[in-house]
C-alpha cells in the first residue's frame, strides 16, 4: 500500500528553548501575549538557608495587573496584594473549569489501567468542587457589572484599554480612568475578603 501522508501538523518540541518566537515577545492585549518576568520556582524542594525557593527568569502569559505594577512601580494603583488576590481567584476559576488530573506515567501499558466501582468522588473531584465553591463565594460579593469587569481583566487577561474599546464599539460610553478606579475598588474588596488567604500566600513566597 502507498504510504499515507500525515494530516497532523508536527507537534512543537517540549524541550525548553532560549526564548519564544519574536512575534510573541511584544506585550500586547490578549492572553496570547507574553512578558519577561521572574518568579519563585514552585518545584524547588531544597531551599537555601534563607528558606526561599530559587528565582526563575523567563516569559509568562501577559497579566495586565502585573504589567501595571511593573510599569508604574511605587506610583501604581495596583499593589502586590491585588496581584496575589487575583492569582487566587484565577486559580479557583481554573480549578473549577479545567479541573485537576492525577499523576500519570506516559509509558504505562493499557493493561495496567483498572476499572471498577468507586466508593465516592475522588480527591481531584473534591478539589474541583472546593474551587467552584470558593470562586462562587468570592464572586458573590460583586455586582453583575463588576463581575464582568473582573472576568475580562483578571480571568481573561485583557486590559482596561481593551475593555473601553469594546464598550465604544458596542456604542456604550466607557472612561478609562473611571473603569480603572472601579477595577482598583473591586481589587481592594477582593483583598479584604481574602485577607487570610492572601497573607498565607505571601508567607509561602507568592509574589507579584
146 or 111: which leads in pLDDT: 146
pLDDT above 60: residue 13? no
C-alpha cell of 66? 502585573
pLDDT above 70: residue 196? yes
Instruction: Decide: 118 and 109 in contact? Cβ < 8 Å.
Output: no
User: Where is average pLDDT lowest: 21-30, 40-49, 102-111, 195-204?
Assistant: 21-30
Span 178-188, average pLDDT? 97
Dihedral sign for Cα atoms in the order 85, 125, 140, 165: positive
pLDDT digits (tens, 9 = 90+) for 102-112: 555 555 555 55
pLDDT above 50: residue 11? no
pLDDT above 50: residue 205? yes
pLDDT digits (tens, 9 = 90+) for 148-163: 999 999 998 889 999 9
Query: What's the angle, vertex CA 72, arms to CA 22 and CA 168, rounded to 5?
Result: 75
- List all residues 6 or more positions away from 79 whose beta carbon is below 8 Å from its beta carbon: 69, 208
Span 188-199, average pLDDT? 96
Phi, psi of 40, rounded to the nearest 5 degrees = -75, 135
28 or 154: which leads in pLDDT: 154
Instruction: Decide: 59 and 36 in contact? Cβ < 8 Å.
Output: yes
d(CA 41, CA 184): 28
Q: Which residue intervals of 30-175 are DSSP H helices? A: 64-72, 80-97, 123-139, 144-150, 160-169
Instruction: Decide: 83 and 208 in contact? Cβ < 8 Å.
Output: yes
Span 42-68, average pLDDT? 66
d(CA 134, CA 136): 6
Query: Is this model's pTM higher than 0.85 or not?
Result: no
Predicted pLDDT at 146:
96
**C-alpha neighbours within 13 Å on the C-beta side of residue 14:** 0
DSSP state of 204: T
User: Where is average pLDDT lowest: 13-27, 66-80, 181-195?
Assistant: 13-27
Amino acid at each position: 500500500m502507498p504510504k499515507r501522508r500525515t494530516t497532523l501538523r508536527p507537534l512543537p518540541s517540549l524541550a525548553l528553548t532560549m526564548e519564544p518566537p519574536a512575534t510573541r515577545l511584544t506585550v500586547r492585549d490578549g492572553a496570547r501575549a507574553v512578558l519577561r518576568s521572574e518568579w519563585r520556582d514552585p518545584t524547588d524542594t531544597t531551599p537555601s538557608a534563607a528558606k526561599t525557593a530559587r528565582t526563575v527568569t523567563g516569559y509568562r502569559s501577559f497579566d495586565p495587573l502585573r504589567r501595571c505594577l511593573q510599569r508604574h512601580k511605587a506610583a501604581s494603583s495596583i499593589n502586590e496584594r491585588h496581584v496575589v488576590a487575583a492569582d487566587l481567584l484565577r486559580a479557583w476559576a481554573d480549578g473549577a473549569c479545567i479541573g485537576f488530573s492525577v499523576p500519570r506515567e506516559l509509558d504505562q501499558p493499557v493493561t495496567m489501567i483498572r476499572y471498577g466501582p468507586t466508593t465516592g468522588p475522588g480527591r481531584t473531584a473534591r478539589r474541583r468542587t472546593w474551587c467552584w465553591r470558593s470562586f462562587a463565594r468570592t464572586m458573590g460579593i460583586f455586582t453583575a457589572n463588576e463581575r464582568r469587569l473582573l472576568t475580562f481583566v483578571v480571568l481573561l487577561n485583557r486590559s482596561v484599554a481593551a475593555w473601553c474599546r469594546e464598550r465604544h464599539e458596542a456604542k456604550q460610553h466607557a472612561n478609562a480612568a473611571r473603569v480603572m478606579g472601579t477595577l482598583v475598588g473591586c481589587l481592594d474588596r477582593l483583598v479584604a475578603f481574602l485577607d487570610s488567604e492572601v497573607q498565607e500566600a505571601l508567607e509561602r513566597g507568592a509574589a507579584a
